[in-house]
Amino acid sequence: MQDRITAANTKTMNRFELTSRLVKRLDEQTAVVAGIGNTNFDLWAAGRRPANFYMLGSMGLAFPIALGVALAQPQRKVIALEGDGSLLMQLGCLTTIAMLSPKNLTLIAFDNGIYQITGGQKTPAQSGADIVAVARGAGLAGSAWAADEADFDGLIEAALASGKPTLIAARIDSEAARATTHRDPVQIRERFMVGLGVRTAM
């Protein structure tokens, strides 16, 4: 694994492919919180898991929600998936996560430089900001760009084992999600709580 701070020379990958690879590697216990729009749609498309949470609004709150889960259940690994535009809405949360430094939280940012779901407008970060450099600057020292799919797998493995919160960024294409999440917030929340062992199924 290289110490990769900039997006240069990283492969442009696909969100569904990366999400599917991620989900296949996870045990049932690992919680996954996915942000608004295509990010959670592709998590849904990658196959239902009891410990998945799909966000249907509140743009930018995937990392904070995942942080809350990680603090509540320090023994459970928690992975948060977020889009670059969403992350820009809530960059301050990176400093909160760095300050608290939960051992069980890994952050993944899918970066295509656009607001894909609203018509593909460029984000203000596209002109030269680097979200891994931002994450490192916020205090998440081990953050890195994934060079390709195999590197993505390796970075996640290392992040989960590191005992430190880390942001892994992947450059992705602008392909739409493969499916659409069933938009029933109460059912999503209840199933997630069952998946986390907080509730038993009715």
Partner 1 sequence: MSEKRPWDQVVLDTLKQNEVRLVPYVPDKVLGSLITKLHADPAFTTFPTAREEEAVGIVSGGWMGGVRGAVLMQTSGFATLANALASLAVPYQIPLIMFVSERGTLGEFNFGQALVCRTMRPVLDSLAIEHHTITDIDALEFIVDRSIKQAVATQAAVTFILSPLLTGGKVFAA
User: By the criterion CB under 8 A, which residues form the site for partner 1?
Assistant: 31, 33, 53, 55-73, 76, 90, 92-93, 95-96, 99-100, 185-186, 188-189, 192-193, 196-198
Q: Which structure tokens are listed for 43?
A: 């998590």
Q: Which is nearer to partner 1, 24 or 199 (CB)?
A: 199
Nearer to partner 1, 146 or 196 (CB): 196
* Least CB distance to partner 1 at residue 29 (A): 13
Classify residue 44 as exposed, middle or buried by CB count within 10 Å of its CB (0-12, 13-18, 19+): buried
Distance CA 169, CA 131 (A): 7
Q: How far is the CB of 191 from partner 1 (least distance, A)?
A: 10
Identity of the residue, 33 or 147, whose beta carbon is nearer to partner 1 in the bound complex: 33
d(CA 150, CA 69): 28
Cβ at position 34, least distance to partner 1 in Å: 13
